[in-house]
Amino acid sequence: MSPHTVLFDLDDTIYDHRFASSRALAWLRGHYVSLRKVPLGTLVQEYDSLMDALHPLVLAGQLTPQQSRTERLRRLFAGHGEILSGAEAERRSRGYRAAYLASERPVPGVRAVVRQLARRGHPMGVVTNNSVKDQRRKLEICGVAPYLRTMVISQVVGFQKPDPRIFRVALERLGAEPSEATMVGDSYSSDVVGALAAGLTPVWLNRRGARPPSHDGVRQLTSFVPWEGAVRVLLE
């Protein structure tokens, strides 16, 4: 019997985007009066909503990542009573970006999980919706690239999660059948729904304790720490 294959999402599954974004928003909050009295948790929720609204335009090639960040910041400040010029919104977005890059890290525990799976001979890959340059950089930062046999990026293959075809590309590259594979990711709508449609076993990385949108018995992880428990859930 072939070793069980494990596919990972990248953002907020391997790479801790939410941590870096929260740190960058805290930097903005400390530098600009209009945000100073807004709870950081509120800013994080608002910024996440703006990213959800604008990121599809980046994936479609209608906005560059920098244009998207600038527009997010313009809308964020406008929501708190400060109207920014285009130049000022771009300046602040670059400050946000610098603070974000200074806070990059892997999701806690994920390195240990990936190393243990590799030692046991399990083929692994990444399936991600984003651009090639950013995603390769994030993998290198997280220190897990040597353990992964493939990375399937939406910008390259031309379709995005939850489209089952993007998962099938990864499985074909790894020589695995859907019944032999698990997909772990933080997005229920992209990772869980997509994995189910492609015939894989999904594991929802639910670090924030959100309620599942349905009662379908999908397995959950709240953390990769300790790695022993996380590996057990991924291989059940």
Write out pLDDT tens, residues 88-112.
999 999 999 999 999 999 999 999 9
Judge if 97 and 148 occupy the same domain. no
The residue with tokens 């994080």 is: 44
Q: What φ, ψ does residue 154 adopt, rounded to 5°?
A: -55, -35
Q: Which is higher by pLDDT, 231 or 215?
A: 231
What would the pLDDT profile of 173-184 be if each residue is shown by its tens digit? 999 999 999 999
Inter-CA distances, 86 with 56, 93, 135, 137, Å: 21, 10, 27, 28
Q: Which of 126, 169, 157 is nearest to 11 (CA)?
A: 126
Confidence (pTM): 0.94
Instruction: Identify the pLDDT of residue 2.
Output: 64
Asked whether 222 and 207 are in contact (CB, 8 A), the reply is: yes
Query: What is the predicted pLDDT for the residue at 165?
Result: 97
pLDDT for res 236? 85
Output phi, psi for 156, to 5 deg.
-85, -45
Q: What's the number of domains the chain is made of? A: 2
Token pair of 125 as six digits: 């890959």
Query: Which domain covers residue 39, as residue numbers?
Result: 17-101
Q: How far apart are CA 89 and CA 72, in angstroms?
A: 9
Separation between Cα atoms, residue 149 and residue 157, nearest integer Å: 17
Q: Which of 101, 123, 154 is the last residue of a domain?
A: 101
> How large is the angle between the packed helices 17-31 and 86-101, nearest 10 degrees?
130
Q: Domain boundary residue among 76, 101, 126? A: 101
Residues 71 and 146 in one domain: no
Q: What distance in Å separates the CA atoms of residue 91 and residue 193, rounded to the nearest whole number? A: 38
Dig out the tokens for 169 from the structure: 């590309």
SS3 176: coil
Residues 126 and 204 in one domain: yes
Contact between 7 and 126 (Cβ < 8 Å): yes
Regarding whether 51 and 114 lie in a shared domain, the answer is no
Residues 220 and 130 in one domain: yes
Quote the CA–CA distance of 127 and 199 in Å, as a whole number. 15
CATH of residue 185: 3.40.50.1000
How high is the mean pLDDT of the chain? 95
Beta-bridge partners for 197: none
110 and 93 together in one domain: no
Same domain, 139 and 120: yes
How many of the other CB atoms lie within 10 Å of CB of 115?
Answer: 15
Pair 95, 170 in one domain: no
Residue 216 reports pLDDT greater than 90: no
Domain match, 117 and 82 both: no
Q: Which DSSP category does 191 fall into? A: I
Indicate whether 56 and 79 sit together in one domain: yes
Tell me the mean pLDDT in the region 133-157: 94
